[in-house]
Amino acid sequence: MEILLIRGRMLNMKEFKHLTNTMKSGIIKIFIPVIFFLSLTSLLKGQKLPEAPSGLMVEFIRETGGIRILDPSPEFSWIVPVSAGTQTAFQILVSSSIDLLKKDVGDKWDSGWSSGSQSTEVEMRGNPLSGETTYHWKVRIWDNKNRPSQYSKIQSFTTGRFNGYATTGNRFLTEMIKPEKVVMKGKDHYFADFGKDAFGTLVLSIDPVSVDTLIIHLGEKTDGLASIDRDPGGTIRYQKVRLPVTPGITTYTLDLPPDKRNTGPAAILLPDSIGVIIPFRYCEIKNCPVEITRENIFQKALWHYFDDGISSFVSSDTVLNQVWDICKYSMKATSFAGIYVDGDRERIPYEADAYINQLGHYYTDREYSLARRTNEYFIRNPTWPTEWILHTVLMFYYDLMYTGNTESVSRYYEELKHKALVSLAREDGLISSRNVTDEIMTALGFANAEERIRDIVDWPPAQKDTGWKLATPEGERDGYDMVEINTMVNAFHYRNLVLMAELAGHLGKSIDELLYLSRAEKVRNSINEKLFDREKGIYIDGEFSVHSSLHANMTPLAFGLVPDEYKESVVRFIKTRGMACSVYGAQYLLEGLYLAGEAGYALELMTATHDRSWWNMIRVGSTITLEAWDMKYKPNSDWNHAWGAAPANIIPGYMWGITPALPGYAKAIIKPQLSFLTHSKIEVPTIRGTITAEYKRTGNSKEYTVTIPGNMECDFVITGEQMPTVRHNKKKVIPVNGIILLRPGINKIVL
C-alpha cells in the first residue's frame, strides 16, 4: 500500500491514528514533504500545536455582524501570535457552510499550503462569491520552525450587491451613556453632565403623568454654575427642544430639528434610520415632575465602530497625558458620519482635516475602512484650497503603508497623478494655482470646470488678506505674503512628487518612479535656489517676497527640503515664532521639529498651557479638540474638530517614533525622542498586532521594553551624537548605523 500526503492538506485524527498504526506495522510507504514530516514528528512526540492566529479581518472589518462586504474578491488579514515568530506559510479555508468549515472543508476557497509571510490583505481566489450571501472562513499558519498552528476561530461575513468595486464601510454603533452626575436645580428642574461631548440625542425613561410637555436644553458648554450656556458663541452647540409626553409611554427619544448648514448638498448625510443628532455633553430638563437620576436619562451617542482598549499612552507629564486623552477621544467622537468630516458646523469632508484625522485614527484603533472610504470620496469631491488637494496623495500613500494593500491606490493611480498638480508647473518645476484651466479643474474631479483652486496656507486668514469680518486681525498665517509662486504650496508639491515615486515603485511602474524622482529633484533645487534667503539662512514666503513666515519654513523642514548646512538656521528661526500657526499647521510644525531632532522644543509646544495650546482646549471645557486654539482666534469655531488633534499621531508616530518602514507594517521603525520625560508607556495598534513599549529613565540610564507582534521586524533607532553602551536582552551589542534589529516578542534595550 502506498499513500501520498499532499502538500496543503493535513490528516484528520481518524486518518492520523490509522497512519501511526500502519507505520508501526511497517506495511506503509510514505512520501511526504519535509515541512509535514516535521509537523508529524512534533505530533508523534505529543507536542501541542502552536497558537492559532487571531484578530481576523475581512476587508479591514473586525466585527462583521451587520456589515455587507462589497468587494467580490475580499482581502483577509490576521494577527500571527508572538510565539510563532515569523510566519512561513498559511492556509485559508472559505466555506459556504459553517458545518463544512468545521470539518476543514473550504468549498469556496482552499488556499492550500501557501508559502510566505503575508498575513495582511490576502486576496480571495477560488470559486466566485455570490452577492447577498453569508460565508465563513478561518486560517492557520506555519511558524518559524515550520510547525502548523491550530486553526483560528471562525469568522463569518455577508456579501452585498456587487455593483462595482466599493470600499466596505464599518458599522455605526450607538451607546447609551449614563450621566456622571445629576443635579436638582429647583422644583422640576434638573441638570445632567454626561462627562464627554458626543454626537447623539437624548433618551429618557420616565412616566411624567402630570404634565404634557418637557423643556429640554442640550449643549456643549456650561456657564460654570451647573447651567447650560444658552449663548455659547461661534458654532458651539446649544439646542432647546420641547418634548411632548403621553401618559403610559415611558421611553422617549428626543426628536431634534435638522440644521440647514450641516444638511446641505455638500454635507455627509446620515441614514434616515439614525435621525438627527447634535454634539452635546450637558442636558437641562425643566417642567419635569419625575425625579431624574443616573438610571433614567441617557446620552445616546453615535460613532463608527471603535475599540477603546486597543491603544493607550501615559507618561511622566500629566498635561501630555490629558492632551493624548482628548485627541484620542476626538478620533472616536468625530467618526459618527462614516467619513471624516470637518466637524458639526458643515459636516463636509476637507482633505486637510481628513489627513490629520486619518493618521490619528490609525494610531488609536486598528481601523482602516473609514480612511479608505474618505480617500476615495475625494477623488470626485475635491475642495478648493490648493494645499488641501495636495493632501490627497499623502492620504493614499499612508493607506498603503498602514494596510499593505495596493488595491485602492492602484485603482485611482491615474487620478492621483492629477492631484499632485504637475499640470500647474512651469519650466523650473515650481507650480502656481494661477495656471489652472477648465481642463485641469475637470481632471481634478470638480463638477464645475469654471471653479478655481486657490492657495490657503492656513486658516483663518487675516482680515488684511480677505476682509473676512469674522477673522481676527492676525489670522493664522503668521503674516504670510501670498505671492504667485508660494513656498508652502511648492513644499507640498515636492512631497507629492516624492510619494508618487514611492507609489509608482510599489505598483511596479518603474518608468513613472524615475520620472517622479527626477521631477522632485528639479523642484527641490528650484525651491532652494529661488525661495531661500541664503544670507539669512531661511525660506521666504514665495518668489520675490521679502517676508519669511513660520509656514514657509516649517513645511520645507517637515518634507525634507532643507539642506543639512541650513537646518540649524531654519530651526532657529522656527523657534522664534512659537505657535504662530493654526491647529492644522501644528501638524507640520511638530513633524519638522521631530525630524530635525528638536524633540525638547516640540514637547514644550505640546505641553504648553498658554491660549495657543491643547491644554487651553481642555481648560475652556471641551472634551473634543477645537477648530482653533481659542474662540478669539476664530470666532465662528466649533468644539468638535478632529483637525485639532495632531498629537494623536505625533505622540506615537514622532515622539515615540513608531511608524511602518514597509507597507502593512511588514517592518516597523521605532525612533523614540522622549526628551524630558522620565517614563512613558504606549500601545500602538497595527494591522499585524499591537506594538507595546515602555520607557524608564534613571539618572543617565535609559531602559526600553518593547514587544513586537508576530510576523514583524523592527528597527530600533538610537539617536544622539555619541553612541552609548547598548545592551539588548542583556547582551552587549554594537548598533549598525544606530539601529538594533528587534524580533517578535519582548525586547529589552538598555542605554
DSSP string, 451-480: ---B--SSSS--HHHH--TTS-SSTTTTT-
pLDDT above 90: residue 321: yes
Measured in whole angstroms, the distance separating CA 697 from the mean position of its chain's CA atoms is 30
**pLDDT tens figures, 230-277:** 999 999 999 999 999 998 899 999 999 999 999 999 999 999 999 999
Of 344, 352, 398, the closest CA to residue 371 belongs to 398
Q: What is the CATH number of domain 54-168?
A: 2.60.40.10
Q: How many CB atoms lie within 10 A of CB 225?
A: 8
pLDDT above 80: residue 41: no
pLDDT above 50: residue 287: yes
Q: What is the CATH number of domain 173-304?
A: 2.60.120.260
Cβ–Cβ < 8 Å for 202, 298? yes
Cβ–Cβ < 8 Å for 134, 156? yes
pLDDT of res. 720:
78
pLDDT above 70: residue 11: no
| CA–CA dist 215, 240 (Å, integer) | 7
Greater pLDDT, 722 or 173: 173
All cell numbers assigned to 343: 466637524
Radius of gyration of the chain (CA): 28
- The pLDDT of 569-580, averaged and rounded, is 98
pLDDT confidence tier of residue 171, bands split at 50, 70 and 90? confident
pLDDT above 60: residue 14: no
pLDDT above 50: residue 469: yes
Give percent of the chain with pLDDT exceeding 70: 92
Cβ–Cβ < 8 Å for 538, 553? yes
CATH number of the domain at 384-564, out of 3.40.50.261, 3.40.50.620, 1.50.10.10, 3.40.50.800? 1.50.10.10
| CA–CA dist 386, 132 (Å, integer) | 42
Cβ–Cβ < 8 Å for 710, 744? yes
Half-sphere exposure at residue 469, Cβ-oriented, CA atoms within 13 angstroms: 0
Residues 572-575: contacts with CB within 8 Å, 24+ apart? 573/536, 573/537, 573/538, 573/548, 574/550, 575/601
pLDDT confidence tier of residue 411, bands split at 50, 70 and 90? very high
Cβ–Cβ < 8 Å for 561, 524? yes
pLDDT of res. 55:
97
pLDDT above 50: residue 727: yes
- 667-750 maps to CATH 2.60.420.10: yes
Greater pLDDT, 470 or 659: 659
pLDDT of res. 573:
98
pLDDT above 90: residue 349: yes
pLDDT of res. 27:
36
- Burial degree of 741 (CB within 10 A; 0-12, 13-18, 19+): middle
Cα separations in angstroms, 4 against 11, 36, 619: 11, 12, 72
Cβ–Cβ < 8 Å for 391, 354? yes
- The pLDDT of 170-185, averaged and rounded, is 95
| CA–CA dist 702, 697 (Å, integer) | 5
- The pLDDT of 129-156, averaged and rounded, is 97
Cβ–Cβ < 8 Å for 148, 98? no
**pLDDT tens figures, 435-451:** 999 999 999 999 999 99
- The pLDDT of 645-656, averaged and rounded, is 98
Q: Strand 739-742's sheet: what is its strand order?
A: 658-660, 667-670, 713-717, 739-742
All cell numbers assigned to 682: 504606549
Provide the b/e sequence for 549-579 (b: ≥16 CB within 10 Å).
bbbbbbbbbbbebbeeebbebbbebbeebeb
Cβ–Cβ < 8 Å for 205, 296? yes
| CA–CA dist 219, 192 (Å, integer) | 11
pLDDT of res. 32:
41
**pLDDT tens figures, 110-129:** 999 999 999 999 999 989 99
| CA–CA dist 672, 345 (Å, integer) | 38
* Torsion on CA atoms 41, 45, 51, 56, rounded to nearest 10: 40
pLDDT confidence tier of residue 470, bands split at 50, 70 and 90? low
All cell numbers assigned to 432: 502656481
pLDDT of res. 466:
61
pLDDT above 60: residue 20: no
pLDDT of res. 163:
81
- Burial degree of 103 (CB within 10 A; 0-12, 13-18, 19+): exposed
| CA–CA dist 417, 379 (Å, integer) | 11
**Type of residue at 256:** L
- The pLDDT of 189-200, averaged and rounded, is 98
The sign one gets for the Cα dihedral 83, 85, 91, 94 is positive
| CA–CA dist 725, 708 (Å, integer) | 23
Q: Show the CA angle centred on residue 95, arms to residues 89 and 96, nearest 5°.
A: 165
All cell numbers assigned to 65: 455582524
pLDDT of res. 210:
85
pLDDT of res. 47:
65
Angle in degrees, 0-180, between the axes of helices 550-558 and 586-595, rounded to the nearest 10:
50
Q: How many CB atoms lie within 10 A of CB 51?
A: 17
pLDDT confidence tier of residue 77, bands split at 50, 70 and 90? very high
pLDDT of res. 167:
81
**pLDDT tens figures, 363-373:** 999 999 999 99
| CA–CA dist 487, 491 (Å, integer) | 6
User: H-helix or E-strand containing 532?
Assistant: strand 532-533
pLDDT of res. 527:
98
Helices (H) and strands (E) in the chain, counts: 20, 32
Question: By three-state DSSP, how is residue 271 classified?
Answer: coil
Residue spans per domain, the chain = 2-44, 54-168, 173-304, 384-564, 667-750
pLDDT confidence tier of residue 471, bands split at 50, 70 and 90? low
Which residues have CB under 8 Å from 585's CB, separation 6+? Answer: 458, 476, 550, 551, 554
Backbone angles phi, psi at 364, to 5 degrees: -110, -10
29-31 and 2-4 strand pairing? parallel
pLDDT above 60: residue 45: no
- The pLDDT of 313-319, averaged and rounded, is 98
All cell numbers assigned to 387: 494645499
| Residue in the block written with cell 539669512 | 536
pLDDT of res. 462:
80
Greater pLDDT, 376 or 210: 376
